[in-house]
C-alpha cells in the first residue's frame, strides 16, 4: 500500500491506496494558528504529533499493518527553527506571516530583482520567504538566532521527525530564497546577508526520493513497522501536477481557490529573466513555471459576500441564462502578481449601465479572472512553452460556466479530473513510482488519473475584442493611479 500526505495550511490530509490504486481511506486534521498583528505561527511539534495520530488512527481503522512508502507534499515556506537537541526553539513561522517587511527592504538594497530572479527564480523579495524571516530573527529574537542549530522548512522537519534524516528536497528549497535553482546549491551570498551557515541547513536531495525508513518509536505509534519507507515528495502544486497527469511540457494545472496558481513544465528555451516565477521541478534537472494571481477566487468570494445573497449554484444557474454583455471587471483587489507585479493595481468595474444587475456583475468578475488566466497563458507561451491544455482543480473547477469561460478565452481545452484531492493522489503516485510499482509518472498517470469532463474552447471575435478592452482598461487604470 501507498500513502500520500498533504501537509496543508488549513488541514493535514492523508490518503491510503492499495496497489491497484483503489482509495482505501482519506482523512484530515485541522491546523491551529496563533495570529497577532501580522504574526502567524503554529506549533510545529504539535503539527507532527497530529500527523502521527492521524496516520495511526487510519491504520487502526482500516486494519492496515504494512505500507510500502509514505510520500509527502504540502506547503513550502513555513520555517521551523531547531535547537541542538533537534526540538523547535519556538513556534513555526507560517508562510502567511508578514513580520519581515522591513527585512525585505534591507535585502532589496543588497540584491537587485534581476539577480534574485537569475539565482532563485523569484522576482520579488517578500515576507513569505524564509530568508527574510531568519533575518527578522537575527534583528529581533537574538536568543533564538544565537541558539539556532538548524533552519528547516515544514515538510523537511516532518521527514526529519519520522526518519531522523535532515534533508531538504530541492523543489521545496527553491522557496527558501537562499537556494540557487540552476546550480542546485545553497546561495552563499544570501546566506551571508542573513547570517546563516551551511551546517545550519539540511542536506539537499532530489525531490521524490526516499529519505529513509520510519523510526521504530514512530512506527509503533502508527501501527506500522520500520519496513515503511519515507519519501520526501515535492511541493503541493507539483504533486497536484502529477495527480492530474500533467507531467510533460504543454499542460497547465490550474488551481483556482482564494488565489489562482498555474503550474506548467518549463522549456529549455525559457530564459532566466522571463518574468515568470521559476522553481526546481519534481523531475531532476527540470524547472516549473508557477505564476500566481492573488486576485483569483478571492474576487468572486468578495463580490458574493458583499453584493449577493445567493449561493454559488444559484449564481451559476442564473448566469447560464444571460446573454453576453460588455461589462468589464479588473480583478485586482489585492494588487496583481503575475504577470504585471503591480501592488498598486485596483479592482474596477467598467461599462456599468442601469440594465445591469448583480448577476451580470458576478459574470464580469468570473470573466475578469479568466482574462488574467489568458494573460498568464500568453506570457508563458511567449517564453517558449507550447501550451496545449488546462487541467482545472480547486473550487473554481466546480463551476461549469466558469470552466467554459476559461476555455473560450484562452483557446485551450479545460479538463476536470475525477480526483478532487490531486495533491494526495500525486504524492501516493510518487511513492508508487519510487517503489518501482510503476515504470514512471506516465505509466502511473495512465493507471491512476481519470477525467470527468473536458470543456472545448469556442473562441469568438466578441471575446477577443473584449480581452483587448480588458488589457486597455488595465493600462488606463495605471495612468489614473499615477495622477497625484
Choose one of 206, 236, 266: the last residue of a domain: 236
Dist. CA 300–CA 305, nearest whole Å: 8
Percent of the chain exceeding pLDDT 70 equals 99
267 has pLDDT over 80: no
- Residue 395 pLDDT class (50, 70, 90 cuts): confident
Q: Are residues 26 and 146 in the same domain?
A: yes
Angle 275-280-282 (CA atoms, 0-180°, nearest 5)?
130
Binning pLDDT at 50, 70 and 90, where does residue 38 land?
A: confident
pLDDT at residue 478 is higher than 90: no
pLDDT band at 235 (very low <50, low <70, confident <90, very high): very high
Q: Is residue 393 domain-resident?
A: yes
Given a cut of 60, is residue 484 above it in pLDDT?
Answer: no
379 in a domain, yes or no?
A: yes
> Given this model, what pLDDT does residue 269 score?
63
Give the model's pLDDT for residue 278. 93
pLDDT at 256: 86
Same domain, 191 and 249: no
Q: Are 241 and 282 in contact (CB under 8 A)?
A: yes
Taking 80 as the threshold, does the pLDDT of residue 357 lie above it?
yes
**pTM metric for this prediction:** 0.90
Kindly calculate the radius of gyration of the chain based on its CA atoms and give it in whole angstroms: 23
Same domain, 220 and 251: no
Same domain, 195 and 253: no
Query: Are 232 and 252 within one domain?
Result: no
The last residue of one of the domains, among 216, 236, 256, is 236
Same domain, 165 and 73: yes
Residues 295 and 147 in one domain: no
Residue 423 lies in a domain: no
Which of 32-46, 212-226, 236-250, 267-281 has the weakest average pLDDT? 267-281
Per the domain annotation, does 106 fall within a domain?
yes
Please tell me which residue, 300 or 465, carries the higher pLDDT value: 465
For residue 436, tell me if it sits in a domain: no
Name which of 44-48, 151-155, 478-482 the model is least confident about.
478-482
Domain at 219, CATH number: 3.30.420.40
User: 277 and 199: one domain?
Assistant: no
Tell me: cis bond preceding 339? Omega within 30 of 0 counts. Answer: yes
- Asked if residue 176 is part of any domain, the answer here is yes
Does residue 110 sit in the same domain as residue 250? no
CA distance linking residue 218 with residue 326, whole number of Å: 60
In a domain, 51, yes or no: yes
Based on the fold, state whether residues 369 and 483 are members of the same structural domain: yes
Q: Among 185, 206, 236, where does a domain finish?
A: 236
How large is the average pLDDT for residues 437-456? 97
pLDDT at 298: 81
Structural domain boundaries, residue 330: 245-418+450-484
| Least confident range of 50-59, 106-115, 338-347 | 338-347
Q: Considering its fold, how many domains does the chain have in total?
A: 2
Q: Is residue 276 domain-resident?
A: yes
**Quick one: 304 and 189 in the same domain?**
no
- Considering the domain architecture, whether residues 346 and 212 belong to the same structural domain is answered as no
Amino acid at each position: 500500500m501507498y500513502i500520500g500526505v498533504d501537509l496543508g495550511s488549513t488541514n493535514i490530509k492523508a490518503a491510503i491506496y492499495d496497489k491497484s490504486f483503489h482509495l482505501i481511506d482519506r482523512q484530515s486534521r485541522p491546523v491551529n494558528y496563533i495570529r497577532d498583528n501580522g504574526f502567524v505561527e503554529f506549533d510545529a511539534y504539535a503539527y507532527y504529533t497530529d500527523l502521527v495520530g492521524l496516520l495511526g488512527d487510519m491504520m487502526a481503522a482500516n486494519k492496515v499493518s504494512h505500507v510500502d512508502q509514505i510520500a509527502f507534499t504540502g506547503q513550502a515556506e513555513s520555517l521551523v527553527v531547531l535547537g541542538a537537541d533537534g526540538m523547535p526553539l519556538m513556534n513555526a513561522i507560517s508562510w502567511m506571516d508578514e513580520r519581515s517587511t522591513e527585512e525585505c527592504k534591507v535585502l532589496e538594497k543588497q540584491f537587485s530583482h534581476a539577480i534574485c530572479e537569475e539565482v532563485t527564480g523569484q522576482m520579488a523579495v517578500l515576507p513569505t520567504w524564509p530568508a527574510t524571516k531568519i533575518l527578522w530573527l537575527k534583528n529581533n529574537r537574538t536568543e533564538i538566532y544565537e541558539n539556532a542549530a538548524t533552519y528547516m522548512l515544514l515538510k523537511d522537519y516532518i521527514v526529519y521527525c519520522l526518519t531522523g534524516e535532515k534533508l531538504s528536497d530541492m523543489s521545496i528549497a527553491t522557496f527558501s530564497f537562499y537556494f540557487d535553482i540552476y546550480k542546485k546549491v545553497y546561495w552563499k551570498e544570501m546566506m551571508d546577508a542573513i547570517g546563516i551557515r551551511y551546517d545550519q541547513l539540511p542536506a539537499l536531495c532530489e525531490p521524490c526520493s526516499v529519505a529513509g525508513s520510519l523510526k521504530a518509536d514512530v512506527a509503533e505509534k502508527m501501527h506500522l513497522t520500520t519496513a515503511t519507507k519515507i519519501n520526501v515528495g515535492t511541493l503541493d502544486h507539483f504533486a497536484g501536477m502529477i495527480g492530474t497527469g500533467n507531467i510533460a511540457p504543454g499542460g497547465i494545472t490550474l488551481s483556482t481557490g482564494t488565489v489562482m496558481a498555474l503550474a506548467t513544465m518549463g522549456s529549455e528555451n525559457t530564459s532566466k529573466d522571463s518574468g515568470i516565477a521559476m522553481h526546481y521541478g519534481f523531475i531532476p534537472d527540470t524547472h516549473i513555471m508557477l505564476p500566481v494571481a492573488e486576485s483569483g477566487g478571492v474576487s468572486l468570494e468578495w463580490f458574493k459576500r458583499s453584493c449577493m445573497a445567493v449561493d454559488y449554484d444559484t449564481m451559476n444557474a442564473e448566469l447560464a441564462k444571460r446573454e453576453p454583455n460588455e461589462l468589464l471587471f479588473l480583478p485586482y483587489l489585492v494588487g496583481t502578481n503575475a504577470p504585471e507585479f503591480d501592488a498598486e493595481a485596483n479592482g474596477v468595474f467598467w461599462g456599468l449601465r442601469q440594465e445591469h444587475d448583480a448577476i451580470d456583475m458576478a459574470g464580469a468578475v468570473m470573466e475578469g479572472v479568466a482574462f488574467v488566466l489568458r494573460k498568464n497563458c500568453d506570457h508563458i507561451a511567449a517564453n517558449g512553452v507550447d501550451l496545449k491544455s488546462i487541467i482545472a482543480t480547486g473550487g473554481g473547477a466546480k463551476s461549469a460556466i466558469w470552466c467554459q469561460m476559461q476555455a473560450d478565452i484562452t483557446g485551450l481545452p479545460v479538463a476536470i479530473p475525477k480526483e478532487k484531492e490531486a495533491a494526495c493522489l500525486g504524492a501516493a503516485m510518487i511513492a508508487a513510482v519510487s517503489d518501482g510499482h510503476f515504470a514512471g509518472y506516465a505509466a502511473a498517470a495512465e493507471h491512476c488519473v481519470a477525467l470527468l469532463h473536458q470543456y472545448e474552447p469556442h473562441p469568438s471575435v466578441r471575446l477577443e475584442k473584449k480581452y483587448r478592452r480588458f488589457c486597455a482598461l488595465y493600462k488606463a487604470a495605471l495612468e489614473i493611479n499615477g495622477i497625484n
